[in-house]
């Protein structure tokens, strides 16, 4: 049996930009992507702590060290610059493997979106 578990989580990061004029996605600083074990084009769930929105999109690499968290396209309507969000991805794995799996969880500084 396979179950879906949290694979990666960037906990409480600040939205730096919301860009309607884009096809869609979330641009994430590549340092944060590496720390959270996320890759370009990976599906992620976004949870906005300010307004309660929950939605899915995919990851685009942002400039390393920039602190960028930019929601693009239609997703830009669900957040505002300065909102605090949580970014999560999930993976399917065998039930026994899931019992010992440890997700990559990152707690960046919300004022800079950089690793502490």
Is 66 annotated in the active site? no
Between CA 109 and CA 106 the distance in angstroms is 10
Say if CB 26 and CB 42 are below 8 A apart: no
C-alpha torsion angle, residues 67, 35, 57, 96 (rounded to 10): -160
Which of these is catalytic: 22, 58, 66, 90?
A: 58
Is 58 annotated in the active site? yes
Which of these is catalytic: 25, 66, 89, 90?
A: 25
DSSP letter string, 41-93: T-EEEEEETTT--EEEEEEEEE-TTS--EEEEGGGGGG--TT-EEEEEEEEEE
Positions marked active-site = 25, 58
């Amino acid at each position: 049996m396979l179950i879906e578990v949290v694979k990666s989580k960037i906990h409480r990061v600040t939205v730096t930009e919301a860009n309607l004029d884009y096809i869609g996605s979330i641009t994430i600083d590549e340092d944060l992507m590496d720390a959270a074990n996320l890759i370009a084009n990976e599906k992620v769930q976004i949870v906005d702590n300010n307004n309660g929105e929950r939605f899915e999109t995919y990851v685009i690499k942002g400039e390393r060290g920039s602190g960028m968290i930019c929601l693009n396209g239609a997703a830009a309507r669900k957040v505002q610059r300065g909102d605090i969000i949580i970014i999560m991805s999930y993976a399917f794995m065998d039930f026994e493997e899931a019992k010992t799996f440890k997700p990559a969880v990152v707690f960046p500084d919300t004022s800079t979106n950089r690793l502490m």
